[in-house]
Structure 1
Amino acid sequence: MRFLATAAAALLLASCSSPESGDPDAPKVAPILTSEDAKDDQTFADPEKARVTHIDLDLALDFDEQMVSGSAMLDIIAAADVDTVVLDNDGYTVESVTDGEGKPLDYEVGEVVEGKGAPLSITMGEAREITIAYSAKDAAALQWLTPEQTAGGEHPYLLSQGQATLNRTWIPTQDSPGIRQTWSARITAPEELTVVMSGLSGDEAETLDDGRRAFNFTMDKPVAPYLIAIAAGDIVFQELGPRSGVWSEPSMIEAAAAELSDVEAMIDAAEALYGEYRWGRYDMIVLPPAFPYGGMENPVMTFLTPTFIAGDKSNNGLIAHELAHSWSGNLVTNANWSDSWLNEGVTSYFENRIVEEIYGKKRADQEAALAFANIEETLADVGADAPGTALHQPANTDPVGSAIIYDKGAYFLRTVESIVGRERFDAWLQQWFDNHAFQPATSAMLLADMEENLVKDEAEAEKLMLREWIYEPGLPSNVAKPDPAAFAEVDAAAKAFSDDRTLDESEWAKWTSAERQRFLANIPKEMMEAELAGLDEALRLSDSTNNEVLFLWLELAMDNQYERAVPTVDAFLSKVGRRKFVAPLFETLMNEGAWGQTIAKRIYAKTRPSYHSVTQGTVDGLVLG
């Protein structure tokens, strides 16, 4: 039964059937959406005519040249009268294209579009299997680290980051989240290095005659192309549970495993909430600090920043978030990036539910309250009517930061839950994952599904304000605000410090990471040098091993031109490449006139080569103009 009119009623779902093999929940050919709101303007592909369904990579890693080279064999599905397939190309060099019998095929690389790359048009005729011989040097998705940039200091390292459209710099395919593909890979690397990918590994690595080893991987479930990921280096593995484990450099493995010891319990909690974990294994790799994000939800191999390791599991909300992506984002994926909140907002809600199950309601409420503060701060900065504050963000919408697609998205679902009740809401969300598994989705589809399978009558529909949440800017009036008691003690301490600079140091020692972050966020932004020195000495902020807390302290210190903290900022920016920390610190410095700009430019000249292209792209605009 449907209570609200919606454009989703006109959705056309285009799908192709093929014999199933293996997991019955994972069709070899995933459906695509052909409605206007599902089309992706960030790809050159025309999947309604011809689309990639499988990629088979055979690549060699060359650390000296910082290049991958080899071939990609693509399975294509197309109408009988279609003789051309269009792929995305953002810098890789095509050497040849052949059909399944090895016969050459004509191809053309079109005009480059800034930020998008160029179309690679291949005249395939009746062929539906093609092989592209190619190489990719200096690909933006790939970061090649020298031995000096690793913890061990002896061997080089490679890591990738494909989201949102970077994988087209090293993989010839249709790089759009709505064109899901299965894949396999054979990767060769120097024998002293180990390769991992976001697929299940095959047999033990094969030692070759040329001082290299070959590694094999398979992803038999159709995934969005941005989820194909690779890492290679001097890494070791430690098991965490029957279906989970962690990779890292040897010097970090014990700390990483200790921090991640709750992962198996997290998987159990997630399954109890919203159904079966469908990917087989849940492994992680803790990467060198150059990795630009907190985490990346690559299937069966989550990529993690080492900055989450605090020694007390206080930052494990990040782990809950990346695990939750195994349902929202990986299982059901936004069809294009205008609806990225379907990945991140739903996941942020799910994350908080896992945290509640594992670490308790108080911690979950506190982390939710921090998220709500992020929303309020963003709306205060950009205005509640800014188009970028709507969840659905059409092309050319100016982004306003993660507080919208992550935190507002989560609060949308928290609000719905508060109105319909947790039991009904959980049943609805599980059926959403089940009924759209391994498929792309849009905001219109989710709205229609809520109206069909959750809303009970017109009165409840009006109370929920679903359309306003998804398509309108700002926060709807029905938002379920966080519990004001979540930080009552901390807020009182912050007020006392603001009023007369008094602080009970013993209380700080008892606080959680979330409480410490709340305190630092709520104390005055303008402070004298002596006050900053006293705060640092009392709380030992510059020595904090929790990077979330350390970052907030350094941001406050630089905002007040606190000279004594500059060496700590220098050291922090020299060892951390996570954009969440790096970009705001450089922005703060650049806003401090000649004093800060001199420091920023000096540090960035030294640290820029160590950052991933994702981080460089943001900081270049801040520091280099």
Structure 2
Amino acid sequence: MTRAYPADPHSFARPNEVVVRHVGLDLDVDFDAFRISGTATFDLERRTPDATQLVLDTWQLDVRAVTTAEGEALDFEVGEEDPVLGRPLTITLGAGDRVVVTYATSPEAKALQWLEPEQTASGKPFLFTQGQPILTRTWMPCQDSPAVRATYDATIRVPADLMAVMSAENPTERSVDGEYRFTMPQPVPAYLIALAVGDLEFREVGARSGVYAEPSVVEGAAWEFADTEKMIEAAERLYGPYRWGRYDMLVLPPSFPYGGMENPRLTFVTPTILAGDRSLVTLIAHELAHSWSGNLVTNATWNDIWLNEGFTTYFEVRIDEELYGAAYAAMLLRLGRQELARGVEQEQPRDTWLELDLVGRDPDEGPSKIPYEKGSLFLRLIESAVGRERWDAFLRSYFDRFAFESMDTPTFLSLLKSELLDPAGVSAEDLQLEAWVHGPGVPDNEPLTESDAFDKVDAEVARLLAGTASADLDTDGWVSHQWVHFVRALPLDLGVDRMAEVDAAFGFTASGNIEVATAWLELAVESGFAFETPAVDQALAEFLVRHGRALYVSKVYRKLAATDRGLARAREIYVTARPTYHPVTQAGIDRLLA
């Protein structure tokens, strides 16, 4: 029996009646009007034989016509607007199973960021989409639920001096006339249909991997991502074959709101990971891991996002352990645990469950790090309970069995109990499974991680606090993870003079590593050092204007917003910074500074 699609609180679509199996896009990209326009052709399957309506998700789309493949007009209705979900597009079907929608986007489409030439490294305009979680409906009509998968092809026309790429089979050279054709033969959810247009060049970094970026960035990016092929091979050794053909990356301008977006075949990444020393490329391991957890087996609804992100965070560390060793992985686990502690402190208790309840809410407003770090920690607990060999066999089988399908929390838990825990003689009570999945915070049976590298950092922090000068600390050979831990371990009452001494010795204010810089600026704000030191205040403002990566700028804004003085300064900086941010980042900071 064909599996039923789950009820999705964030989609109007009714895929159990009529589901989209293939999408054909034929679109023009207009940088002058900030608009995409053209047609979307949908090949349908009637899962209910007598179904007469196709329902698609839209948000401020100008739907101009709906026809059959032969051009016969079909009746359609655009429904009432929901502030989160947009509007349903309900189409009355004829006898055929192909529908063509002619439409145009709004200049305010939340998935689209149109960058002016002065916002890019090349001095040419740039466009990129960001569809997760429910924003694809703002640039194309679709059944915008992660449980609904379709193949797609596209013809995209752009200015002749720019290049278009998609989460599909991509060109490596520019076309002469600005027309590009794409095919994605594997079925994907709508949120993974992605497009970018800009002054791009391509460099190969491995047999099946490469990088696209603006000309002044592409060589440095190719050097930074040199280990990509090794990461793919390590991931395959762990959990089976990579099933998407190529794994390429696109380095976006600084306003990209995320560290990375795991669009199949073409991961979108932030330029903030181009640290010049390959110290931040674990993010690539994370996005690559999504090729199994997320893209291959996808959360059924956004309430189940831990099945994407928790699994991927766990898998990311396993890839890093394969390549760089257990000591390196231990540092990542410890930093992740620090992030989880912060998340538990900041979120409402219900939002610290693994299975979320986002009904009536924009899923973009859900908890940031809980699904990632608590999910990963829970999987490590399972590994420790049943043994790594048994756990790895289960996980590989899981990816094989449910490839190109969706998964919800109850189904996964039932599978976990019957096919792993019971045969291993481990009970749900032994794991405190219910407390992990349907309870707040972190249960008391979490697995702990020791890190000799962090113990060395703690020893040097103790020496600093005992009076040793910063310049006399033993920091030779430290990697960026140790520096982040060092900064986080400094007390708020260190004092302006000692903060200045530490900064002079280690150059934190001027750090080009976004993780180190963020940790330092958070400390500088919370301790008051930023307000007492004009150079730090200036660097703070420049940081918030230069970067658009939501996770990191929101951390600094959150610290600023904690006091009246800081809130006033944050609002002052935000006047300049906000126009450079993606709508996703804008929405989050708007809420923080309201």
TM-score by length of 1: 0.90
Q: Secondary structure at the match of 1:510?
A: coil
Distance in 2 separating the partners of 1:381 and 1:427: 36
> Which amino acid is 1:47 matched to?
P
Hey, what's the Cα distance between the residues in 2 that align with 1:202 and 1:124? 36
Distance in 1 between residues matched to 2:346 and 2:301, nearest whole Å:
27
CA distance in structure 2 between the aligned counterparts of 1:376 and 1:401, rounded to whole angstroms: 13
Equivalent residue number for residue 90 of structure 1:
59
TM-superposed deviation, 1:379 = 2.8
Aligned partner of 1:447 among 405, 413, 421: 413
- The CA distance in 1 between the partners of 2:424 and 2:523, in whole Å, is 49
Cα deviation digits, residues 363-387 of structure 1 (max 9, x gap): 101100111122223334457xx12
Aligned counterparts of 1:291 and 1:310: Cα–Cα separation in 2 = 16
Alignment partners' CA distance in 2, 1:58 and 1:89: 17
The partner residue of 1:73 within 41, 45, 51 is: 41
CA distance in structure 2 between the partners assigned to 1:448 and 1:241 by the alignment? 40
Please state how far the C-alpha of 1:487 moved relative to its aligned partner.
1.4
Aligned: 1:134 with 2:103: yes
2:224 pairs with 1:224: no
Aligned-residue offset at 1:459: 4.6
1:439 Cα deviation after fit? 0.1
**SS at the partner of 2:308?**
helix
Give the superposition deviation at 1:506: 5.2
1:54 to 15, 19, 22: 22
1:68 alignment partner, SS class = strand
Matched residues in 2 for 1:56 and 1:244: separation? 26
The code of the aligned residue for 1:304 comes to V
Looking at structure 2, the residues matched to 375 and 397 of structure 1 have their Cα atoms a distance apart, in angstroms, of 25
Shift of the 257–433 alpha-carbon distance from structure 1 to 2, 3 Å rule, reads same
Q: Deviations over 1:34-92 (max 9, x none)?
A: 4xxx3211000111111111110000100011100000000111133111111001111
Q: Does 1:403 align with 2:403?
A: no
Does 358-367 or 394-403 show the bigger shift?
394-403
**Structure 1 residue 599: Cα displacement:** 2.4
Q: 2:437 aligns with which of 470, 478, 485?
A: 470
Per mean C-alpha deviation after superposition, the further-off stretch among 215-224 and 506-515 is 506-515
Distance 1:588 1:512 in 2: 26
Q: Pick the aligned partner of 2:88 from 103, 119, 124.
A: 119
Q: Which amino acid aligns with 1:491?
A: D
Q: Give unpaired runs (5+ residues) of structure 2.
A: none
1:460 aligned counterpart, secondary structure: coil
- Residue type at the aligned position of 1:490: V
Q: Does 1:611 align with 2:576?
A: no
* Residue pair 1:109, 1:120 contacting (<8 A) in 2 also: yes
Q: Which fold has the larger relative contact order, with Cα–Cα distance below 8 Å and residues 6 or more apart in sequence?
A: 1
Note the alpha carbon deviations across 1:379-430, whole angstroms, 9 max, x for none.
34457xx121111112349867333100010011111111111111100000
Structure 1: unaligned runs, 5 residues or longer: 1-12, 16-32
Q: What is the correspondence of 1:148-297 to structure 2 with a 5 Å cutoff?
A: 148-153=118-123, 155-201=124-170, 206-208=175-177, 213-297=178-262
| Alpha-carbon separation, structure 2, partners of 1:129 and 1:412 | 44
Which residue is 1:19 aligned to? none
Q: Indicate conservation of the 8 Å contact 2:172/2:201, yes or no.
A: no
| Counterpart residue type for residue 391 of structure 1 | L
1:408 is paired with a residue of what secondary structure?
helix
Runs of 4+ that moved beyond 6 A: 397-400
Equivalent of residue 488 in structure 1, options 435, 455, 474: 455
Q: Distance in 1 between matches of 2:485 and 2:251?
A: 27
| Matching residue's letter, 1:46 | R
Contact 1:388 1:397 in 2 (8 A): no
Does the 8 Å CA contact 1:532/1:562 hold for their aligned counterparts? no
1:8 is aligned to none
Q: What's the counterpart of residue 356 of structure 2?
A: 393
**C-alpha distance in structure 2 between counterparts of 1:359 and 1:336, whole Å:** 34
- The counterpart of 2:525, out of the listed 535, 539, 558, is 558
Q: Superposition RMSD on alpha carbons, in Å?
A: 1.8
Change (3 A) 1:444 1:294: same
Distance of 1:613 and 1:90 partners within structure 2: 14
Matches of 2:464 and 2:302 in 1, distance apart? 43
Bigger Cα displacement from structure 2, 522-531 vs 224-233: 522-531
Amino acid at match of 1:554: L
Q: Determine what percentage of the aligned residue pairs are the same residue.
A: 43
| Equivalent position SS for 1:541 | coil
Whether 1:372 and 2:337 are equivalent positions in the alignment is: yes
Amino acid aligned to 2:412: L
Q: Which amino acid aligns with 1:411?
A: L
CA contact (8 A) 2:172 2:202 kept: no
Partner residue of 1:14? 2
Taking structure 2 as the reference length, what is the TM-score of the superposition? 0.95
**Aligned with 1:427 (options 393, 401, 408):** 393
Check the 8 A contact 1:42/1:176 in 2, yes or no: yes
Contact 1:497 1:523 in 2 (8 A): no
